Amino acid sequence: MNEGIAKEYIALIPNLFGSFSELNKELVELSHIQNHIIEFMYMQQRALNIKEISTGLNIAKQQLTNIIKDLEIDGYLVKVPDTKDKRAVLVSLTPKGKEIEEKKWTKIYQRFVHNLTKLSDEEKIDLNYALHKVNVLLHKMEGEE
Which of 31, 46, 32 is closest to 91 using CA atoms? 46
Indicate which CATH number applies to the domain containing 25: 1.10.10.10
Residues 6+ apart with CB under 8 A from 12: 134
pLDDT tens sequence across 57-113: 999 999 999 999 999 999 999 999 988 888 889 999 999 999 999 999 999 999 999
Overall number of domains in the chain: 1
For residue 24, the enclosing domain spans 2-142
Q: Rounded CA gap, 133 and 35, in Å?
A: 29
What's the CA gap between 25 and 79, in Å, rounded? 30
Q: Is the pLDDT of residue 134 over 70?
A: yes
pLDDT over threshold 80, residue 26: no
Pick from 56, 19, 106, 143: nearest CA to 48: 56
